[in-house]
Each structure stands twice: as C-alpha cells, then as structure tokens.
Structure 1
Amino acid sequence: MEREVYMDYSATTFVKPEVLEAMNPYFTEYFGNPSSIYHISRMNKVIINKSKQKIADVINSRRDEIFFTSGGSEADNWALKGVAFANKDKGKHIITTTIEHHAILNTCKYLEKQGFDITYLKVDKDGFIDINELRDSIREDTILVSIMFANNEIGTIEPISEIGKLLNEKNILFHTDAVQAITHMPIDVKKMNIDMLSMSSHKFYGPKGMGALYIKKGTNIDNLIHGGGQERGLRAGTENVPGIVGMGFAIDIANKTMNEENKRLVILRDKLIDGLLKIPDSKLNGPRKNRLPGNVNVSFGGIDGDILLVILDDIGICASSGSACSAGAIEPSHVLTSIGVKSDYAKSSLRLTLGANTTDDEVKFVIDKITDTVEKLRKNKVEN
C-alpha cells in the first residue's frame, strides 16, 4: 500500500477533533440522565436544547420541531410509518421514487404489506423526477410524498422547492431524506414547504448512531418508539447526550464553512470527473450540474467493479460501488438501473466521494491509479 486515500465520505465521515473534544465531558463528567431532577441532569437538558437550536438554525425551523433519533434510517422509518399509521383514515396512498435510499424503499415495502398503496416515480437519465408526473400521481387518498433531497449514489439534487410548493398547494405532507444534502447546500424548511426532514450526524463529521427528524409543528404523526416521555413524548429512550452534543457541534461547524468548502469540493470533483472520463469507454452516472459538490460516480466498460474495488483497496484507495448500506449486493445498483444504465456498466460503477481531507494531490493520485488499473484489467481480460 503506497498511501491511504479516503474517498468514501458519502458512506461516513470521521469525527472532527473539536467535535470529539466537545463530546468527551459528557461521557465522564456530565453523565447525568436528562430525565432526572438534580443539577447534573438539568444541565444536560439545557445542552440538549442548545444542540437542537443549532440544528434548527441550519434548516430554519423551531427548536421544538427537532427530534433526535439513532440516525437517518430511524428518521426515515419514523416519518413514513408515523404518518402512514396516524393518517390511514384519510388515505393509504404514498408517493416516493425508485432511487430512494433503502431506508425509504424497504419501509415502503413494509407499508405495502400493511395495506398501503405506494407509487414509485421514475426518474430521467440523470436521476431527476418529472414534476408533472408527480402532479399526475397525486390522488384524493394521497397522504404523503417522500422524495430525497440529494441522491447518495449519483449526487442528483432534486427540485425540492418546486416539489414542496406543489404539495403545499395540494395540502399533502412532504418528507425529504436530506442525509446527503444537509451542510452541503442551503436548506430552509419554511421556504421549501418541507414538513419532515431526515438527517444523520456521521455525514457531517459528527458521531455515528446519531440523527434527527424535523417534524413541522402540527404534523399528525404516530410514535415509532414507545416508552418514557423523552422528546416531548414522541420518541422514547434515554437521550444520547454525548452524541447529541457532537451532532450539534458538528452541524454548526459544517454550516459555517459550507460555502467555502463547497467551492473547494466542486473544483476537486470536476477535476476528478474530467480525469476519469479520459479513460476509454468510461461514463459519468448522474448530472454534471445540480450534483452534490463531492460526488463522482463513473462506470468503466468491460470492468468488474468488485475486482476494481479490491485492487484499489490494496493500493490504498477507499471507494465504493454505491451505497454503503448495500455493499456486498450481487444485483446492480437500483439507482443506476433506474436511470437506465445497462447492467454491465452498472456492475462496473465506482463511487468516489470527497470531503474535508481531500487534496488536489490525492485527486491526481486516484486518477493515475484508476487509469492504470482499468488498463491492466482490460489487458488481462483480452489476454485470457
């Protein structure tokens, strides 16, 4: 291994040192249960509210509209199941897309077994929904639409404001999985008419196992987790105070540096895309514009993506073939299939995502190593 280059920031990020430093006292010194009445517990209740306020400020919501979860998957599950079961008397129709994260798609499959009717919107070759198809799919019994803000595999940023405006006019609840989007672009839940929004701490240099669901005040939603009266009685369980502190600290840092960091990542992203597309028979998956700043997804004709990943790992390059949650899957990516990528190209795809420690030198190194590796794999294939 020549060096280690991490290019899988969409899978997870490291915890920044200043975030870890902020968390540490809450493991050992300020360890009180926030539900207790003595002072070290009351202090933790105060810090929980401060963290909620930091998150609320980033998306322009109220503090009491932020509810902590164990991550993005729980937030997605809560949004869909909670609204579905709370509003089933009004209707049982839900609309989503074919390129959602599995936390949404598998929840929808579960809801179908419970008698709900799910419409899966198709997307175009770059992963964008058709707003007219969404409009035509709405029925009298439609109670919820869930469309991700930005895709985790191909980086497509959906027209969220346009979607929100339509659904607000139709008086239909709108949930968006913003796990990949938050801290990478401005989000205003009021202006965008978003009723629920999922996020996950470990995507913006906070701790794993921490997430949150924004729920607009007045939204009719059932509990996902029952027990005590934490989170205003909506999400039971003793609060993960160190994780909450870390999430609040991390999102505040990421939001303050977002514009400057995005400009840097876009330059590196485009350089990486241009370099990889010089490889013969290569193809960019997803759009050039309206794409996450650090997302690159490329397919190489005639290459086995799994073999490519193993070789890159030996070289020291950490990458993926798509969502980390579906690693090891035999079938090609459902996202690539949905945008019309042929099976052999879908199976040869490589996702490289950039982040805080990515440098220009690393981008050059990765371009050179992938170019050499693809060339050697193709040569060996011909000789054999």
Structure 2
Amino acid sequence: MPVYLDHAATTPMLPEAISAYTEALGAVGNPSSIHSAGQGAKRVLEEARETVAFSLGCDPIEVVFTSGGTESVNLAVKGLWWARQSKRPRPRILVAQGEHHATVDTVEWLERYEGAVIEWIPLDAEGTIEIEALAAALEAHDDIALVTFLWANNEVGTLEPVREIVALAAAFGVPVHSDAVAAYGQVPIDFRATGLAALSVSAHKVGGPIGIGALVLSRTATVVPLIHGGGQQRQVRSGTQDAPAAVAFAVAARSASASAADPSRYQRLRDRVIDGVRAAVPSAVLRGAPVDRLPGNAHFTFPGCEGDSLLFLLDAAGVSVSTGSACQAGIPEASHVLLAMGLDDDEARGALRITVGHSTTDADVDAFLGALPEAVARASRAGLSARVPALGH
C-alpha cells in the first residue's frame, strides 16, 4: 500500500463523512424553498452550520459556507478591503511574508486592479511574524484597510501569535483576517476569543469533502460580496447552498475538534519523523519553530539536494510527501516562505514537508524513514552532477 504523508495538502475523507455525504446526496430539496422538501434540506444545512460553528468557537450566523479555503480568503480580503473604502480611502493592506498564494495572489490583484497598497511584514528565521515590524507599520500609517496573516504557516508549520496580532491591530481600529486552513483540526480555534474580523477554513484539510469551506465572519464585520445573486448567506455570499457537502463537513468538523483538543497522537508521529530524519540524515535541518509548530508538521531542508528530486525518488519508493514549494509553468522555484525566513536560493530548494494525519500509522513513518537515506543519496548525486560543468562542448 502507498504511504501517504502529505496531509497538509489534503487528507483522506473520513469514512463516516463519506457515509453522511452519500446519504445526504439522496435527499432532494433546495434549502431556499419553502415547501417541505426544501425545509428539510434547510434543516440539515443549518444543523451542519451549528456543528461547524461549534468547532470554530463562533456563532452559527457567522459561518458562511464557501467553495473552499481559496474563496474564503478572497471573500475576506477583497470584501474587507472594499468595505473599508466606503467612508474614506484606506488602500493599505498589511500582509505577512510567506503567506499562502491564496492571499498573495489576492492582494497583488487588488494592488494591480484596485489601487491597493501592499506592505509586507517580515518573518524571522523560524517563520514567525516580526511583531515589532507590524507594530511600527500600524503606528506609521492611518490608511490601513486590514491585516491578514496565516494562523499557522502551511509549509513550515510555525504557529503565529494570533491574539497578540489582533490586539495590536485593534488598538488602531484595524480589522484582521487569518487564514486558518492549515491550523484547523490541528490546534484549538476559538474565533470569539481572538477578536478576529474574519477567518478562513477548508473541509478537505480535516477529512471532509473537497469543494466546501467556510469564512467565519464576525457579526460586527462588513464585507462587500464577490458573488451577487440571491444573497442566501447574510447577503455576503449568493448561490444555492450545498447541503450534502455541509453535512459531510460537519462530520469532519466534529473530528477536527477532537483532534485539536488532544493533538498527542499527531505530535508523537511527527516527533518520530523528526527524530528519525535527524538520525538517518544528520545534515538535514528542521525548519519552522521548534516548539510553536503544528503537531502534524515536519519540514526539513536537505543540503545538496533538490526537493523535487527527493519527492520523485520517494514517490517511486511508494511514499507521498511534498516539497512545499511552488512550481509554475513546469519550472521549480525555491519556496517563497523559506526565502522570507532568510534562506538563500540553494538552501530553499532542498525542502521536504512531511505531514501526518488521521490515517497515519507508525508503519507509514517507518516506511518513509526506510526510503529516505537512499533517496537523499541519489538526490545528492543528482544535485552534484547538475552543479558540475560538463567537459568538452
């Protein structure tokens, strides 16, 4: 059986979520219809919303179902930015470096087409937002529309000081959005306690179906919608709501709450990965915060190796992991997260992200650790060959 250690990309659907999904697909009814079939669909939809809300520490009315994390980020960032321009221009967005491309591409679109001003807040060597730089930016400008940052970095797993960031921004009356897609199901999330204006999550990261996520939008926050139509969800998002997917999402949300409340299993498996990699490849360097990191994330750089080569060699050995780096138009690029953490291009290229999840076993970890030394040896030779100029022509 193939070994799957890329749960940060997507995790297998839980059997109970599949069962709930297929059963719900057999029911008929548009949740917006007032006849009995429609009201039946609405009932299961709203019950699912309540379950998802409970898992995130918010009120059900604050849960806006979306097509996934990317839409949730777009709706939060664009919607908050547009809404903040209503009384006077506030073009500036404070964005942490090393963000997921859902955020990076969104703010760059706003910059290109809407006149937004983007100010990038640096990360330290562990991937933590430099709080002093954020405070200085907040103090220096009175035209800030919002702050947006990852609750946990999706590549290196570093957990950010969420409440400290929100408190800083609140002192200047600036709303804050957090992309919690990577954090959901790994650490407890209490939206109400954070003071956030908006928070994004996705179901497929916690054992739910692909194609549904949520934007948690505070009762006090205002966004301009991306999609116009029937205004089915608080006039924030239009479109017929997917009740079956919401039902499956709710099942996964219950599991996510339990996993976040007791992360010890993930931590044990992650620590086995970390200790095993260090023993097998002493030159490997753990990236991200050593303590304040996701319980399921181990991220290493391997000097002298290309991450893509390692990935393909491990895949050939039946082990699925990730480089965590972008690949555009078939050209591998160094991770922008690692570059933001101060690594040079060569260091950043030799990255692997190993992430455990609900289906991970000790045998999976053993298989990865067994395949790793040969993969590193072969990738090192390939990297050396690429760096040595060819003789002759």
Q: Scaled by the length of structure 1, what TM-score is found?
A: 0.95
Is the CA contact (8 Å cut-off) linking 2:306 and 2:350 kept in structure 1?
Answer: yes
In the alignment, structure 1 residue 160 sits paired with structure 2 residue 158: no
Map 1:178-217 onto structure 2 (within 5 A): 178-217=180-219
Deviation digits for residues 110-161 of structure 1 (CA, Å, limit 9, x no counterpart): 1112111111101000000121211110121112000110010000000001
Give the equivalent residue in structure 1 for 2:350. 348
Map 1:133-152 onto structure 2 (within 5 A): 133-138=133-138, 139-152=141-154
Map 1:229-244 onto structure 2 (within 5 A): 229-244=231-246
One-letter code of the match for 1:215?
L
One-letter code of the match for 2:173?
N
Distance 1:140 1:155 in 2: 32
Deviation digits for residues 307-332 of structure 1 (CA, Å, limit 9, x no counterpart): 22111111100111006887955221
Give the equivalent residue in structure 1 for 2:391. none
How much has 1:364 moved relative to structure 2? 2.0
How much has 1:380 moved relative to structure 2? 6.4
Is the CA contact (8 Å cut-off) linking 1:152 and 1:323 kept in structure 2?
Answer: no
Distance 2:329 2:115 in 1: 30
Give the equivalent residue in structure 2 for 1:81. 78
User: Which one is further off, 76-85 or 46-55?
Assistant: 46-55
One-letter code of the match for 1:287?
A
Give the equivalent residue in structure 1 for 2:107. 108
Distance 1:141 1:350 in 2: 39
Match of 1:62 among 59, 75, 98: 59
One-letter code of the match for 2:105?
N
Q: How many residues align?
A: 380
Partner SS, residue 58 of structure 2: coil
Distance 1:166 1:373 in 2: 45
How much has 1:348 moved relative to structure 2? 1.2
Is the CA contact (8 Å cut-off) linking 2:327 and 2:333 kept in structure 1?
Answer: no
Distance 1:230 1:218 in 2: 19
Q: Scaled by the length of structure 2, what TM-score is found?
A: 0.93
Distance 1:379 1:81 in 2: 46
Is the CA contact (8 Å cut-off) linking 2:319 and 2:367 kept in structure 1?
Answer: no
- Quote the sequence identity (%): 37
In the alignment, structure 1 residue 12 sits paired with structure 2 residue 14: no
Give the equivalent residue in structure 1 for 2:314. 312
Is the CA contact (8 Å cut-off) linking 2:68 and 2:212 kept in structure 1?
Answer: yes
One-letter code of the match for 2:110?
L
One-letter code of the match for 1:39?
S
Q: CA RMSD in A?
A: 1.8
Distance 1:381 1:131 in 2: 37
Q: Which stretches in structure 2 are left out of the alignment for 5+ residues?
A: 389-393
Distance 2:383 2:162 in 1: 44
How much has 1:281 moved relative to structure 2? 2.4
Give the equivalent residue in structure 2 for 1:92. 91
Distance 1:64 1:325 in 2: 38
How much has 1:26 moved relative to structure 2? 2.1
One-letter code of the match for 2:277?
L
Is the CA contact (8 Å cut-off) linking 1:201 and 1:207 kept in structure 2?
Answer: yes
